[in-house]
Amino acid sequence: MSRRLVLILAVTCAVAVGNLYFPQAVGPLIAAGLGVPADEAALVVTATQIGYTAGMVLLVPLGDRIRHRPLLVVLLSLTGLALLGAGCAPALPPLVAASALVGLTTVAAQIIGPLAAGLVAPDRRGVVLGTLLSGSTGGMLLARAFSGVLGEWLGWRAPYLVASVVALVLAAVLRHAVPDTAPDASAARRPYGAFLAEPLRLLRAEPELRRSCFYQAAAFGGFSAVWTSLALLLTGPVYGMGAQALGLLALVGGVTMLCTPLAGRLVDRHGPDLVSLVSLIGILVAAAVLAAGGLGGAAGLAALTVGTLLMDTAMQSGSVANQSRVYALRPDARSRLNTAYMACAYSGGTAGSWLGVRAHTWCGWPGVCALLGLLACAALLRHVVARRGRPGTTVRPYAQPASRAAGEGGEGGP
């Protein structure tokens, strides 16, 4: 797997993830341009997220059933056409419908992860996954700024039209850049309906998958609780800042783009369990640092900056470790494993957002930080139990038995 291909796939991840987030910045412009209330314009973002959830369930598992190259080309082409339709929508209802289709098809990043895991040698899997995650993080951070500036300059349709062109160009690039990998023969013969139930079966059958899902659900739940409640803290009486302060603080998270490849190298050298342990401890330390942010003033703002940076870096590094562990389980079922993993992670994030607001309402900012710490402690306890259950083992969790390692060749080999 060449560096050029890794770069192309990382850019594709950035674009695919960015399509989920750039509509958030142009919501007020859509409301003004179409003459609808702001709360109705927010349906565009909601429809995109609902479509993405459906795409995770209905389309991502197909990465084990259909050749990756045509699947990615078709999905990006459909995304480009859906973005074009959204940019040309004459009213809100067709815009909402086109946005749902954008969300449904912009799942390329979740297909690229399993693809890359099958194309790279196991001892380089972590650094490649870290690079792809950096692309996704960059897309998430830069998409809002890109669409906000372009929308203010040329109107709300411009970001959709530019994103459409980018998606279609990437579809053409991937048509020639991505190797033609063959799916597992048994997976290709299974009925589609039964195939979609496979992620649940894998959750029941694979303890390491359940462990990785628990780690990421806890970490992402705490992450979501903090970021959801930060807006309440920064705009409340302690700081009295505007909503733009949260955006500036979120840009600090761009540092994680540099840290995730480093975390991937550590996974390759020492295995995912060590990186998981350090990441969970990092989240616990971040909870203590963030607690000082409730004091207000310059010192409190510095604590929030350092704490969110540490939390973001730890959470993303843990994600690299978890995905490395998950992709090593079943080379023939990586897309289905990823569906189960991401569904659990997003469920944890949704629950964390809900709990974070309640914790802030009941106990203020200290309650949010306590929630983050409790979730990190729960994952740490699960980690300790898992390690004691394998005393004296020296085998890295991603090391493959010979029978499974043989399956790598079917997906392109290292």
Rounded to whole angstroms, the Cα distance separating 239 from 36 reads: 32
Range of 105's domain? 3-183
What pTM, to 2 d.p., does this model score? 0.79
Please state, in angstroms and as integers, the Cα–Cα distance from residue 78 to each residue in 74, 105, 127, 327, following that order.
6, 7, 30, 27
With left for phi above 0 and alpha for psi between -120 and 50, is residue 413 left, alpha or beta?
left
Tokens of 226: 């903090």
Q: Which residues of 326-341 are buried (b: 16+ CB within 10 A; e: fewer)?
A: bbbbbbbbbbbbbbbb
Residue 365 belongs to a domain: yes
236 Cβ contact partners less than 8 Å away, ≥ 6 residues apart: none
Given the structure tokens 């990186």, which residue do they identify?
275
pLDDT score at 10: 93
Residue 284 belongs to a domain: yes
CATH code of the domain containing 349: 1.20.1250.20
pLDDT score at 272: 93
402 Cβ contact partners less than 8 Å away, ≥ 6 residues apart: none
Same domain, 115 and 232: no
CB atoms within 10 A of CB 14: 24
Residue 413 belongs to a domain: no
Same domain, 115 and 248: no
Closest CA to 286 of 304, 303, 311: 311
pLDDT score at 74: 96
Domain total for the chain? 2
Same domain, 90 and 237: no
Please state, in angstroms and as integers, the Cα–Cα distance from residue 90 to each residue in 97, 100, 104, 285, following that order.
12, 16, 21, 50
One-letter amino acid identity for 72? L
Residue 264 belongs to a domain: yes
129 Cβ contact partners less than 8 Å away, ≥ 6 residues apart: 113, 116, 117, 264, 267, 320, 323, 324, 327
> CA angle, 326 as apex, 253 and 9 as ends, to 5°?
55
Give one DSSP letter per residue of 302-337, joined into a string. Answer: HHHHHHHHHHHHHHHHHHHHHHHHHHTT-GGGHHHH
Q: What is the DSSP letter of 244?
A: H
Same domain, 179 and 215: no
pLDDT score at 231: 74
Residue 402 belongs to a domain: no
Same domain, 12 and 71: yes
Same domain, 284 and 166: no
Residue 401 belongs to a domain: no
Rounded to whole angstroms, the Cα distance separating 88 from 110 reads: 28
Rounded to whole angstroms, the Cα distance separating 36 from 398 reads: 52
Rounded to whole angstroms, the Cα distance separating 296 from 370 reads: 18
Rounded to whole angstroms, the Cα distance separating 24 from 395 reads: 45
Q: What is the DSSP letter of 293?
A: G
pLDDT averaged per 10 residues, the chain (length 414):
89 92 81 84 84 89 88 96 95 94 94 89 86 86 78 89 96 92 70 82 93 95 87 82 65 76 89 94 96 90 92 92 91 88 87 87 93 96 81 42 37 32
